[in-house]
Amino acid sequence: MTDSRTPVVSRHIGRFELLRPLGEGAQAAVWLANDPRLQREVALKLLHDPVRPDKIDTWLHEARAVSRLTHPNIVPVFEADVHDGQPYLVFEYVVGETLLARMKRQRNVPAREAVELMLGVLGALALAHDAAVVHRDLKPSNILLDAFGRARVMDFGIAARTSLGFAGPVAPHGGLTAPRHSPVSDLTDEVRTRHAVVGTPGYLSPEAARGMSPTPQMDLFSFGLVLTEMIAGERLNFDADPWRAVQRVRDSQLLVPEQMPADVDDQLRSILQRCLARDEAQRYPDAGALSQALAHWLLPPQIDAAAGDARQSHVHASGTLEFLLRRMRHRTDFPALSAAVTRVQRMTQSEGESLGSLSAEILKDVALTNKLLRLVNTVQFVASGGGTISTVSRAVALVGMAGVRNMAMSVVLLEHMQNKAHAQALRQEFLRSLLAGGLASEISGAVHGGEESFIAAMLQNLGRLLCEFYLPDEAQQIHHLVGPLHLGGASQRGAMNEAVASLQVLGVSYDDIGCAVAKAWGLPGNLQKCMQKPTHEPPRSAAQKPDEQLRWLACAANSLADAVLYSTPTDLAVQVHAIAIRYAGVLGVGVDDIAEALQRARVRLTELSTAMDLQVSPGSPAQRLLGQAQALQDPLSAHHLQATTLDDEQTIKLPAGRKHVTEMLSAGISDISHALVENCRVNEVLRMALEAMYRALGFRRIVFCLRDAKTESLQGRLGLGEGVDALVPQFKVPLRQSPNQQANLFTVICTKNMDTLIADDRLPSIQAKLPAWFAAASGAQTFLLLPLALKAAPLGLIYADMLEANHIQLTEQDLAQLRTLRNLVVMAFKQTSPGG
């Protein structure tokens, strides 16, 4: 049934081509659209109510104000315009689901998970409020959860200003009147004397229900309402008559439900109730104060029993995190950094199914893909991999989850810490951390905990690294108090210990900041322990507990890295020897072994800095960190993806010509050939093949289907690309059809083992043979089918598509290489099947 509000639209709105509807609400219909100018998909929102001609300039002015909001937790507005009297907004297309959909699936969200998720929303609100933008319609359907699980707010202050969030008669002033026989028709007079009521009834604040001018307090009330409902699993202000909901919030105090889940303590209940205060003066003064309160609840006070003279005996870890959030929320992307680190950590928890998801997530980020492949192609890994590694899947299989985690974590930290004003200090501290990580890995050995040692040593001074970026002025003061470091942490005579100096300048120590942030990021407990440096001298014999051994190893590696950075070349040998003697006993290694490990780590750091494009100034202290190594030739220069900037938006541009296609497919064939020699698992071979095809030819999506013996059909198993998680389960290709059944194109192609390219599936002859589910689920107009057969029987199918007709262009050489990749996958299956 068609809603009468749904506008009749052509296939185009302005330059945008409407592809398919994404959803519809009381205010607008949202479409997936194609922007031909920038060659990207966008979400286009068509407002139901027209904007009056005399109000268009005001509306566009508001749209421009919102478009300037740049925050990781905000869905950006790309454009706002009017087409044939119809106003529309163009947003980034975010793949994921709304918070409303999540809440319908999961009745209530655990309190800690809900608070962590909504802290990003608070950061978005804080930025908007500072820019004098009030959302005015914050609700679960206006919060998207992207592919990484990050909450992203949409519809800031524009659509909400055009009409109330539910249907009703339009008053002459542009607001809504209550229904004539409504029991709350007295609302109308008050609304007329002030402003139009704006928002959705169940999420209005009391003052918004009275038609008051917008204030940030309105958003904080709605925020508290959403968070309470997430945790409680029930609506607080729902009524079949929306005007009753408006009256209820206007005239009475909403209460946090008496029966709340067990993970809601009195402190959290108090925070939620304060958000819902009917009097706005009793709520939190701003989004930052509310964020601090929630962060304080997340990280309760901790007592450090081993504080010593360097720290206060009772330091609140929650206070350190609050301090960071308060100082950084207006000027950095700390929430985005936190989300990225948490995501990498979560994806590398297990060696099982996470391997595939890690590869898929990395491929979504072009910059991360390129840098990771450069890192894995340093001399250390190329030697063990038997040649250049050109696919993320091969990198994960070769290096392992822990190794990829370390490299990805390094890249994520570097990517999010770009500050031109303090670039030199940041680069120096980052390189120092990398050297410490590499040295710890060298000492412990790559076989026994080398990767865990790397990340432990690299992050032991996380607090210092974060302060160099987020609090550069305070970091400089601490440097001045401490002076150049000698003997791995002992200061010059008259200078102050770093822990004492950081406590004096910041009110908390570097270690406490690092530990609080590590806990918020969900890093493993043994890594968190490593970040609190011991205050006593190292034992003379090896530590008995693995966690304690790891802690001392991280200390030794960081002490040596400090010595290399702050010592003169003539003093370095003496300093290294003294530190080696100090730690040799507890580490169970010889003094000479430590010195040799340091030299290898410096050479390795030179390779890593080249791969990560970390340039250091000749003669700078950072130059001392690097060892002598051959200049490396970038193995990906011929075929890696390039990122470019168009209209302030990052898009992906493939190198011109066909050469890159041939080279990338050839590299994929080489990767898989090496993997087969090493008896690599079939799943890893399969992912390498799909990735090589996906990246080389720029497919929109690629899916692999495998034969299911029980159902005699090919069923979708895995894939890469846009919306592939929803598409894969749709693939069910029957291998047998009765004579009276309609011919199924996929069945015919797979049973006859024919490689087929469908250039335009809109042709009637093709449409008649496509299964019913395909048109709705795919949305593609051109696709490639590469069947797999084993012993003359259908084994599987590789499906790849593009959005528009005739957009898959293959040369004979391309097709030959694709078939080679497909045949290598079949060979992998043959190696695992009984009898070959």
Q: What is the mean pLDDT of residues 614-638?
A: 58
95 pLDDT more than 50: yes
798 pLDDT more than 90: yes
Greater confidence (526 vs 435) lies with 435
Give the catalytic positions in this structure.
Answer: 137
800 pLDDT more than 80: yes
Phi, psi for 109 (deg, rounded to 5): -95, 135
Q: Find the length of the chain.
A: 836
pLDDT of residue 325: 53
Q: How confident is the model at residue 658 (pLDDT cuts 50, 70, 90)?
A: low
Q: What is the mean pLDDT of residues 463-476?
A: 80
Q: What is the mean pLDDT of residues 776-785?
A: 88
The b/e string for 450-486 (b: 16+ C-beta within 10 A; e otherwise) is bbbbbbbbbbbbbbbbbbbbbbeebbebbbebbbebb
Q: To the nearest 10°, report the CA torsion of 447, 449, 455, 461.
A: -130
Q: What is the mean pLDDT of residues 460-466?
A: 83
Q: To the nearest 10°, report the CA torsion of 490, 491, 497, 502.
A: -120
- Helices within 654-792 (DSSP H only): 659-677, 682-697, 724-727, 745-752, 764-767, 772-778
User: CA 6 to CA 207: how far, in whole Å?
Assistant: 31
Greater confidence (684 vs 648) lies with 684
The percentage of residues in the chain with a pLDDT greater than 90, rounded to a whole number, is: 17
User: CA 466 to CA 475: how far, in whole Å?
Assistant: 9
393 pLDDT more than 90: no
**What distance lies between CA 25 and its chain's CA centroid?**
28
Greater confidence (733 vs 60) lies with 733
Tens digits of residue pLDDT in 123-154: 889 888 888 889 888 999 899 998 767 889 98
Asked if 302 and 315 touch (Cβ cutoff 8 Å), the reply is yes
403 pLDDT more than 70: no
For residue 514, give Cα distances in angstroms to 432, 474, 518, 659, 817. Answer: 16, 16, 6, 47, 49
Q: How confident is the model at residue 308 (pLDDT cuts 50, 70, 90)?
A: very low
pLDDT of residue 835: 55
User: CA 27 to CA 392: how far, in whole Å?
Assistant: 43
Q: What is the mean pLDDT of residues 823-836?
A: 76
For residue 175, give Cα distances in angstroms to 171, 191, 210, 218. Answer: 5, 8, 12, 18
576 pLDDT more than 70: yes
Q: Tell me how crowded residue 817 is: count the other CB atoms within 10 A of its CB.
A: 22
Q: How confident is the model at residue 299 (pLDDT cuts 50, 70, 90)?
A: low
440 pLDDT more than 70: yes
9 pLDDT more than 70: no
352 pLDDT more than 50: no
Q: How confident is the model at residue 590 (pLDDT cuts 50, 70, 90)?
A: confident
pLDDT of residue 791: 83
Q: How far apart are the first and last CA of the chain?
A: 56
Asked if 803 and 780 touch (Cβ cutoff 8 Å), the reply is yes
Asked if 29 and 46 touch (Cβ cutoff 8 Å), the reply is yes
Angle at 291 between CA 289 and CA 295, to 5 degrees: 120
Q: What is the mean pLDDT of residues 286-313?
A: 60
Phi, psi for 181 (deg, rounded to 5): -100, 20
Greater confidence (441 vs 345) lies with 441
Asked if 472 and 419 touch (Cβ cutoff 8 Å), the reply is yes
3-state secondary structure of 415: helix
How would you classify residue 340: left for phi > 0, otherwise alpha for psi between -120 and 50, otherwise beta? Answer: alpha
Asked if 120 and 339 touch (Cβ cutoff 8 Å), the reply is yes
3-state secondary structure of 2: coil
Greater confidence (385 vs 520) lies with 520
Strand order from edge to edge, sheet including 151-153 = 96-98, 143-146, 151-153
Q: Which of 322-331, 375-384, 672-681 has the lowest mean pLDDT?
A: 375-384
- List the beta bridge partners of residue 209: none
pLDDT of residue 489: 41
Q: What is the mean pLDDT of residues 14-23?
A: 90
Tens digits of residue pLDDT in 24-74: 776 778 899 999 888 889 999 887 777 677 777 777 777 777 787 877 788
pLDDT of residue 71: 79
Provide the strand spans (E) within 123-199: 143-146, 151-153
Q: Average per-residue pLDDT in the chain?
A: 75
The b/e string for 315-342 (b: 16+ C-beta within 10 A; e otherwise) is bbbbbbbbbbbebbbeebbbbbbbbbbb
pLDDT of residue 340: 65
Closest CA relative to residue 68, chosen from 59, 58, 77, 80: 77
692 pLDDT more than 80: yes
User: CA 420 to CA 426: how far, in whole Å?
Assistant: 9
pLDDT of residue 733: 92
User: CA 216 to CA 156: how far, in whole Å?
Assistant: 12
Long-range Cβ contact pairs of 645-649 (< 8 A, separation 24 or more):
646/38, 647/38, 649/38, 649/40, 649/78
pLDDT of residue 714: 94
Which tokens in the block code for residue 572?
Answer: 């370095």
337 pLDDT more than 90: no
Which tokens in the block code for residue 517?
Answer: 């942030």
Q: How confident is the model at residue 234 (pLDDT cuts 50, 70, 90)?
A: very high
Its sign, for the CA torsion 160, 163, 164, 166, is: negative
Greater confidence (826 vs 660) lies with 826
Q: What is the mean pLDDT of residues 727-748?
A: 85
645 pLDDT more than 70: no
Closest CA relative to residue 460, chosen from 399, 526, 404: 526
Tens digits of residue pLDDT in 56-66: 777 777 777 77
pLDDT of residue 103: 92
249 pLDDT more than 90: yes
Q: How confident is the model at residue 230 (pLDDT cuts 50, 70, 90)?
A: very high
pLDDT of residue 654: 36
Which tokens in the block code for residue 703?
Answer: 């899916």
The percentage of residues in the chain with a pLDDT greater than 70, rounded to a whole number, is: 69
119 pLDDT more than 80: yes
Q: What structural domains does the chain harbor?
A: 12-176+188-298 (1.10.510.10), 308-625 (1.10.3210.10), 660-832 (3.30.450.40)
User: CA 477 to CA 469: how far, in whole Å?
Assistant: 14
3-state secondary structure of 660: helix
3-state secondary structure of 93: coil
612 pLDDT more than 50: yes
3-state secondary structure of 532: coil
Q: What is the mean pLDDT of residues 486-512?
A: 62
Q: How confident is the model at residue 387 (pLDDT cuts 50, 70, 90)?
A: low
Q: How confident is the model at residue 339 (pLDDT cuts 50, 70, 90)?
A: low
The pTM (predicted TM-score) of the whole model is 0.43
166 pLDDT more than 70: no
Phi, psi for 402 (deg, rounded to 5): -65, -40
Asked if 141 and 3 touch (Cβ cutoff 8 Å), the reply is no
Sequence-distant (≥ 6) Cβ neighbours of residue 297 within 8 angstroms = 115, 267, 268, 271
560 pLDDT more than 70: yes
Q: What is the mean pLDDT of residues 87-97?
A: 87
The b/e string for 79-104 (b: 16+ C-beta within 10 A; e otherwise) is bbbbeeebbbbbbbbbebebbeebbe
Which tokens in the block code for residue 403?
Answer: 């190794």
Which tokens in the block code for residue 766?
Answer: 């093709």
Which tokens in the block code for residue 351?
Answer: 């060696």
pLDDT of residue 613: 67
User: CA 278 to CA 33: how far, in whole Å?
Assistant: 42
Q: What is the mean pLDDT of residues 256-282?
A: 92
User: CA 360 to CA 393: how far, in whole Å?
Assistant: 9
pLDDT of residue 676: 73
Asked if 797 and 786 touch (Cβ cutoff 8 Å), the reply is yes
pLDDT of residue 487: 37
Sequence-distant (≥ 6) Cβ neighbours of residue 798 within 8 angstroms = 689, 690, 693, 702, 703, 704, 705, 784, 785, 786, 787, 788, 822, 825
